[in-house]
Amino acid sequence: MGRSGPGRIIAIVVALLITAAISALLWLWFYDSAFLGVDAMSTFEPASENAQRVQDIYILIFWLAGAVFVGVLALTLIFSFMYREKPGAEALQLHGNSRLEVLWTFIPVIIVVVMAVPTFDLIVDIEGEAPEDALEVIATGHQWWFEFEIPELGVVTANELHLPVDRPVNITLHSVDVIHSFWVPRLMGKKDMVPGHANEMWFTPTEVGEFRGQCAEFCGLSHANMRFRVFVQSESDFQAWAAAQAADAATSEDEAIVAGAEQFTQSGCIGCHVVRGNPLAAGQVGPDLTHVGSRATIASATLPNTTEDLAAWLRNPPAVKPGSLMPNLNLNEEQIDRLVTYLESLE
Amino acid sequence: MATAVGTAGHVEERSGIWTWLTTVDHKKIAALYGVTGFTFFLIGGIEALMVRTQLAVPEGSVIDADLYNQLFSTHALTMIFLAIMPLGVAFFNYFIPLQIGARDVAFPRLNALSYWVFLAGGVILTGSFFMGGAPDGGWFGYAPLSDRAYSVGSNMDFYVVSLLILGVSSLMGSLNFAVTIINMRAPGMTMMRLPVYMWMTLVVAFLLILSLPVLTVGLIQLYFDRNFGTNFFTPETGGDPILWQHIFWIFGHPEVYVLILPSMGIISEVLPVMSRKPLFGYAAIVFAGAAIGVLGFGVWSHHMFTTGLGTVPQVVFSASTMAIGIPTGIKIFNWLGTMYGGNIRFNTAMYFAVSFIVLFTIGGISGVMHASPPVDTQHQDSYFVVAHLHYVLFGGAIMGIFSGIFYWFPKITGRFLDEAWGKVSFWLIFIGMNMTFFPMHFLGVSGMPRRIYTYESGLGWDTWNLVATIGAYTLAFGVLVFVINFFKTMRQPATAPADPWGGATLEWATTSPPPEHNFDVVPEVRDRDPLWYNRDHNIAPPETPEHLHIHLPPPSYFPLVVAMGVALVGVGLLAHLALAFVGAAVVVYGIWGWALEPTS
């Protein structure tokens, strides 16, 4: 390979082939991660209008960036092959080329302008006020779980938020301790939950389904275990869910459940948890358990809501979620069984 | 006092540990910085390997959440403050006087003090692992997580104290370097004849002089919040946690350029010399570097796009961040222009320099991606950002440092690092780093958050995490090959000629390694590439006069005394305040002795 004649052509062809191979491989892997498979947290499968608009800009910038990468890689390889040292060869003694330098200053300028215009346009839209008919939701970050409240429907729940499809939702974000961040990649980019400083975000879900979320701002020992789910439902399903959640806790004459409720009081659970309809259970520290039995998950969406996992959680909460504010209560198996029965009855 | 007397520039030889403890020679201090910085690089690497081992498979159980949080926090602090910065300072120290034709830096004893204070800060930070726990709130130490209410142990006190001490060291070093470059250039070396590496050094010095005081103020406020019950960052009592973020990133973003600009300078030396042609567009590269430095102070809030800044700040900081892409792009084109038409010698130094261009481009363009705030809301605190920053800091800063090590090793030690071993280490490091960090783009796109010690299977994260971990071990193996190469080479005799590469800048005009006084005769500079100009115009090197009378500063132990005082103040802030006053007294005693010490 060399700087003239067939050698030069071979150098350029080989360099371009390597560039094409590397770019194709990276694109394939990227495509696979972004669009294929069961990526519940994917940032590339938007299920809301605003997330879709974010993705449109993301893809525009992606192609611009990809073109720069391919160009730089190709030139680096071409020059490396063409100009590698040769006996007798002389290096071109040039100090620069003003015309060329001015020209290539404009390449990044143009790229930046192409990015900036739609970006600024979108910022104004999504950072602006939510539409008037938006459903108001209050989300509060705690170390290490999420609390969700829908004031107009009287719903308070934890780690699982239900939303109606095709209706804008405006979420006010709070924190009671450190900074957390609310992120459901498929529904919207993240926004931080800052203590003493309410943030808002809005989007319109366009797809029915279950969406995963996770705290995205490092918030201490169990940051990794601070997860949640969003269930987007048809309007009627959502209304049915909200009505059930707004009601007081189910009561029962069933002996086992009554025994469980007593255990709930005796073990001190009432000191930290609310169970609406049970005047003793009024603690404000932990998640509202009024309808815990209806949830798909427990322990901030780290465990499925099964009898075994509930028991495992009660046996030693900090073993499941390091640093958990709920201590190991040293319950015996009989007490755990009673509590599990009671919690499962709270549908 | 050491007076070099005689025809060969003979200097009275001292040896043993006392020489090293009292040295004020910029080359010896550079060696101390280099060896210490590389040791911390290995420690930071081991921390990273532990992190990657834990993340190799979902629900990993190698280390627990607490240790994991300490490791990822300390990995960042170690690599930034104890590895990349001091390795940069090692090169600054060695080559500022040599490239500008000076005998030493402007303040040799201050230079020694910078090193000893740096060492104290590094030992306190790393020692925290064995004294109750290392910092566990991230290198960014966000309040209120870093306040006493949520961080009961002394972990974050170690963070505050070690960064304060390291800041003192960097500030002294930066002032020293800026004064040296501005005032001590050889005759004829105008600012626009300054080697690009010196320009980048100067920009870095000013970045640190302007940004470190901001961090220092923030750290003192955090220390007061934690220990004396003040309310700067606590929301319950009227403080503002977002204030901390502004303070931290007004320092933190220029800091990114502090880490990358030195390596940009290194490859701007290596590319032209190995291509055997002048740097393409010298003025453009210099102005682009300075522009990056200036703009670097106007972009800090792009680290905070998700904190609820509102519309206008988002637009402004998005625009300024995108604008930084322009000078960066200019630099990349100019480096490519330097290779164009060359007669390129592909040795290990050049391998690392060329790989810098492509790898840094990847880090640069992913950076431009999250200059768009809406896109950033999907990137921020995800593995996409981890990929981005490692392409800048490993693909950029570290690859540049390795290039510099291979390029200047014969000058510093008189020995060539083995090329075959060097290329093996290059390929292992290159493949390993791409295997580790490129898949993190995919993980970020698939929504994996950063700083999580465990993750669930079935989210599309399993394969790439395993690949990244295998890559990390490959990378570590490459570094090991380099370390073996180093020890192997140091056992060879020192036979390197003064100018093995046909270099353009003044350091190649003196012997390898240089004498303590650097140049027998201070060279005269007639061009931007002085040695090439002399070669092309048949100008013979100046003759060494028969009798050299060169005044060099005498060794001094007072820098060490002052540094021990500073260390004691630090320990006092951690253990008992009374000790801090003892430390302050030692500092005063050291400065007193320093001031009255005879210099000739």
pLDDT at B132 over 60: yes
Give me A317's structure tokens: 């909460």
H or E segment at B324?
A: helix B311-339
- B381: closest chain A residue by CA: A216
* Catalytic residue from among B26, B28, B193, B253: B253
- Give catalytic status of residue B255 as yes or no: yes
Is B169 tagged catalytic? yes
Query: Considering B104, B136, B418, B507, which one is annotated as catalytic?
Result: B104
Q: Are B383 and B448 in contact (CB under 8 A)?
A: yes
> Using 50, 70 and 90 to split pLDDT, how confident is the model at B484?
very high
User: Above 90 in pLDDT, residue B547?
Assistant: no
Reported as type and span, the H/E element at residue A22 is: helix A5-35
User: What pLDDT does B11 receive?
Assistant: 44
Average pLDDT, chain B: 94
Q: How confident is the model over B402-443, as pLDDT tens digits?
A: 999 999 999 999 999 999 999 999 999 999 999 999 999 999
User: By the CB < 8 Å criterion, does B321 face chain A?
Assistant: no
User: Minimal Cα–Cα distance from A93 to chain B, Å?
Assistant: 5
Q: Give yes or no: B268 in active site.
A: yes
Closest-CA residue of A relative to B315 is A120
Q: How do residues B40-72 score in pLDDT, each as one tens digit?
A: 999 999 999 999 999 999 999 999 999 999 999
Which of chain B's residues have a Cβ under 8 Å away from the Cβ of A43?
378-379, 382, 444-447
From the list A79, A115, A127, which residue is nearest B322 (CB)? Answer: A115
Q: Using CB atoms, which residue from A93, A191, A322 is nearest to B308?
A: A191
Closest residue in A to B325 (Cα) is A108
Q: In A, which residues are within 8 Å of B449 by CB distance?
A: 183, 214-216
Q: Is B576 a catalytic residue?
A: no
Annotation marks residue B26 as catalytic:
no
How far from chain centre, in Å, is Cα B152? 31
Residue B190 appears among annotated catalytic residues:
no
Q: Residue range B465-489: average pLDDT?
A: 98
- Is B19 labeled as catalytic in the residue annotation? no
All residues of chain B having their beta carbon less than 8 Å from the beta carbon of residue A32 are 442
Question: Which two tokens mark A313?
Answer: 């959680």
Please tell me which residue of chain B has the smallest CA distance to A143.
B150
Average pLDDT, chain A: 93
Judged by a CB distance cut-off of 8 A, whether residue B342 touches chain A is: yes
Beta carbons of A192 and B308 less than 8 Å apart: yes
Task: Report the gap between the CA of A14 and the closest CA in chain B (Å).
Answer: 17
- Kindly tell me if the per-residue pLDDT of B10 is higher than 60: no
pLDDT at residue A86, rounded to an integer: 87
Residues of chain A with C-beta less than 8 angstroms from the C-beta of B315:
120, 123-124
Whether A181 and B306 lie within 8 Å, measured CB to CB: yes
For A119-162, the pLDDT digits (tens) are: 999 999 898 889 999 999 999 999 999 999 999 999 999 999 99
Euclidean distance between CA atoms B355 and B272, whole angstroms: 15
Which is catalytic among the residues B28, B193, B277, B302? B302
Tens digit of each residue's pLDDT (9 = 90 or more) over A57-79: 999 999 999 999 999 999 999 99
Closest Cα in chain B, distance from residue A263 (Å): 32
Provide the pLDDT confidence category of residue A104 given band limits of 50, 70 and 90.
confident
Residue with tokens 């159980």: B61
User: H helices within A83-205, ranges in order?
Assistant: 98-126
* Residue B7 pLDDT exceeds 60: no
Q: Are strands A160-164 and A227-233 parallel, antiparallel or unpaired?
A: parallel
- The number of CA neighbours under 13 Å toward the Cβ of B282 is 19
Tokens 């990809």 map to which residue?
A66
**Structure confidence at residue A38 (pLDDT):** 63
Percent of chain B with pLDDT over 90: 92
Residue B373 burial (10 A CB sphere; 0-12, 13-18, 19+): buried
pLDDT at B599 over 80: no
Q: Which of B36, B128, B328, B556 is catalytic?
A: B328
CA distance B532 to chain A (A): 11
Measure CB to CB from residue B447 to each of A122, A185, A195 and give the nearest one. Answer: A185
Mean pLDDT of B160-183: 97
pLDDT digits (tens, 9 = 90+) for B291-315: 999 999 999 999 999 999 989 999 9
Which amino acid does the sequence have at A280?
L
Tell me the residue type at A31.
Y
Q: Annotated catalytic residue: which of B148, B246, B450, B526?
A: B450
Q: Closest approach of chain B CAs to the CA of A143, in angstroms?
A: 10
- Per-residue pLDDT tens for A214-245? 999 999 999 999 999 999 999 999 999 999 99
Our answer to whether residue B170 is catalytic in this structure is yes
Q: Cα separation of A338 and A259, whole Å?
A: 6
Chain B residue with Cα closest to A30:
B442
Residue B148 banded pLDDT, cuts 50, 70, 90: very high
Give mean pLDDT, residues A76-92.
91
Find the range with the poorest average confidence among A252-256, B195-199, B273-277, B398-402.
A252-256
Residue B277 bears catalytic tag: no
Choosing from B78, B114, B126, B170, the catalytic residue is: B170
Q: Looking at the predicted structure, is the pLDDT value of residue A39 above 90? A: no
Task: Given the residues B26, B27, B28, B303, select the one marked as catalytic.
Answer: B303
**Rounded CA gap, A202 and A322, in Å?**
32
If you measure CA to CA, which chain A residue comes closest to B434?
A26
Minimal C-alpha gap between A285 and chain B (Å)? 16
CB proximity list for B465: less than 8 A, separation 6 or greater: B55, B56, B57, B58, B439, B443, B455
d(CA B376, CA B380): 5
pLDDT digits (tens, 9 = 90+) for A319-330: 999 999 999 999
Question: Are B278 and A93 a contacting pair at CB < 8 A?
Answer: yes
Closest-approach residue (CA) in chain B for A31: B442
Q: What is the pLDDT of residue B15?
A: 65
Tokens matching residue B424: 């093996």
- CB-CB: which of A42, A85, A178 is closest to B145? A178
- Provide the ipTM: 0.95
Task: Note every long-range contact of B134-137, with CB atoms under 8 Å and residues 24 or more positions apart, other chains counting.
Answer: B134/B70, B134/B71, B134/B73, B134/B74, B134/B158, B135/B70, B135/B73, B135/B74, B135/B77, B135/B159, B136/B66, B136/B69, B136/B70, B136/B73, B137/A218, B137/B69, B137/B73
Q: Which residue has the higher pLDDT, B8 or A231?
A: A231
- Which position among B114, B128, B162, B169 bears the catalytic label? B169
What average pLDDT does this structure show over B522-529?
Answer: 92
At residue B404's C-alpha, the angle toward residues B399 and B405, to 5°, is 95
Position B600 scores a pLDDT of 66
Residue B6 scores a pLDDT above 60: no
Q: How far apart are CA B120 and CA A270, in angstroms?
A: 51
Catalytic residue status for B303: yes
pLDDT at B5: 38
> Contacts of residue A178 in chain B, CB cutoff 8 Å?
142, 144-145, 150
pLDDT band for position B9 (cuts 50, 70, 90): very low
Suggest the residue from A36, A101, A142 to mutate for an interface test with chain B (most B CBs closer than 10 A).
A101
Does the active-site annotation cover B253?
yes
**Residue of chain A whose Cα is closest to the Cα of B449:** A216
User: pTM for this one?
Assistant: 0.95
Using a CB-CB distance cutoff of 8 angstroms, which residues of chain A are in contact with residue B460? 33, 37-42
Mean pLDDT of B234-238: 89
d(CA A73, CA A23): 9
Pick from B145, B306, B345: which is nearest to A192 by CB? B306
* Cα separation, B594 vs B581, whole angstroms: 20
Question: Rounded to whole angstroms, what are the CA distances from B598 to A124, B150, B305, B416, B488?
Answer: 66, 52, 55, 40, 42
pLDDT digit string, tens, across residues B76-127: 999 999 999 999 999 999 999 999 999 999 999 999 999 999 999 999 999 9
Band of residue A184 on the pLDDT scale cut at 50, 70, 90: very high
Q: Is B139 a catalytic residue?
A: yes
